[in-house]
Amino acid sequence: METEVLKVDPLRPDRELVARAALVIRRGGLVAFPTETVYGLGADGLNPEAAKKLFAAKGRPQDNPFILHVASVDQAWALVDWDRARCPEGERGAARLAADLADRFWPGPLTLVLPAAPVVPREVTAGLDTVAIRMPAHEVALALIREAGCPLAGPSANASGRPSPTRAEHVLEDLGGRIDMILDAGPTGVGVESTVLDLTRHPPVILRPGGVTAEALAEVVGELRELAPGEVGEGPAPSPGTKYRHYAPRVPLLLASRLPPAGLERLLAEGKRLEQAGRRVGVLVADEEAPLIPATWVVRTVGSRSRPREVAERLFAAMRDLERQGVDVILALPYAEEGLGRAIMNRLRKASSGPL
């Protein structure tokens, strides 16, 4: 199959181009589309056959469900079985809490997990009785959902296990020839995926840290719980995607366990050892460390440590870029684990093949 790439304006998408993409979706095809976080791979979220194609195109494990992307709150709530929504003890019911969260964070990088209505195919939920829903803050995504007339199942548009795509080129690199179309609206803004919040438990649980910080969520939710690194949660895996190695470049990525300056010293020592052993060394660091890296190494910076948004935005592209430079190994440094730093560290840990 030939993958058609259509360039679209990120703010005022051409209606004719959106209509062409929507037709592909309605016919059960796959269209990669931009969101504010990363590119998604869109399929008709109510069509089981289309969902099956998503697993095949990405090489995704069958037990990992998809997020349904909506363009309105009404469209979102129609996917939920409210009778099964467990009321958080006390003041607010689950419906009220979901409404408050949607009010504050949608459109935006927050995904809510709620009991699934019967209309949601089990191919989308991978057999779970819950469904993950979000309204993306991107004009192209919203226009496509509206025009297609259905919620879009939309995993990140990378091959399973690879760094998420923040540019259309990344999608083409991983999925070219396996999907019908890519809507190219330039680089995405947030750079890490949405925060996944499970509202079927009390207190609500952050299954995946992402573009909306725990601090911001707590202002609306009150008490909430975060999964510790490596924790999959009690019972059956609550967010199946969290158990796989993920976001990984094709070459080993070694992550220092300590922040600079200690982590940097370690990185420099290990890099010298690897270089002497004949390896081409790549490093993924912040602006602050870049001047201290030997000139013979390949350096990619993700911006300043004082601007985590910049780091999030550039993280995945920098990994792919280093791998393209033909390095044998990528050495990376950690970031402070607060605010967006939690999502950044979650992605780095999953991308890493071991400690430095």
289, amino acid identity: E
Q: How many CB atoms lie within 10 A of CB 252?
A: 14
Q: CB of 279 within 8 A of CB of 328? A: yes
Task: Fill in the DSSP letter of residue 176.
Answer: T
Looking at residues 138 to 157 of the shown chain, list those that interact with ligand TXA (rule: CB under 6 A): 154-156
Give φ, ψ of 25 to 5 degrees. -60, -50
| 120 part of the interface to ligand TXA, by CB under 6 A | no
239 binds ligand TXA (CB under 6 A): yes
Closest CA to 317 of 140, 111, 168, 137: 168
194 is a site residue for Mg ion (CB under 5 A): no
Strand partners, 111: 196
| Residues contacting 178, CB < 8 A, separation 6+ | 1, 3, 30, 57
Binding status of residue 196 toward ligand TXA by CB under 6 A: yes
Determine if 125 is a binding residue for Mg ion (CB under 5 A). no
Q: How many residues does the chain have?
A: 356
Q: Establish if 214 lies at the interface with ligand TXA (CB under 6 A).
A: no
CA–CA separation, 157 and 40 (whole Å)? 5
65 binds ligand TXA (CB under 6 A): yes
* Residues 252/330, Cβ–Cβ less than 8 Å: yes
Minimum CB separation of residue 201 from Mg ion in Å reads 22
- Interface with Mg ion includes 188 (CB under 5 A)? no
Closest residue to ligand TXA: CB criterion? 241
Residue nearest to Mg ion (CB): 156
- Choose which of 37, 47, 156, 301 interacts with Mg ion (CB under 5 A): 156
| Segment lying near ligand TXA (by CB under 6 A), choices 96-104, 237-245, 257-265, 274-282 | 237-245
**Quick check: 352 binds ligand TXA (CB under 6 A)?**
no
d(CA 176, CA 255): 30
- Choice between 194 and 213, CB closer to Mg ion: 194
Q: Is 94 in the site for ligand TXA (CB under 6 A)?
A: no
Binding residues (CB under 6 A) for ligand TXA: these are: 35, 37-38, 40, 64-67, 109, 111, 113, 125, 128, 130-132, 136, 154-156, 193-194, 196, 207-208, 238-242
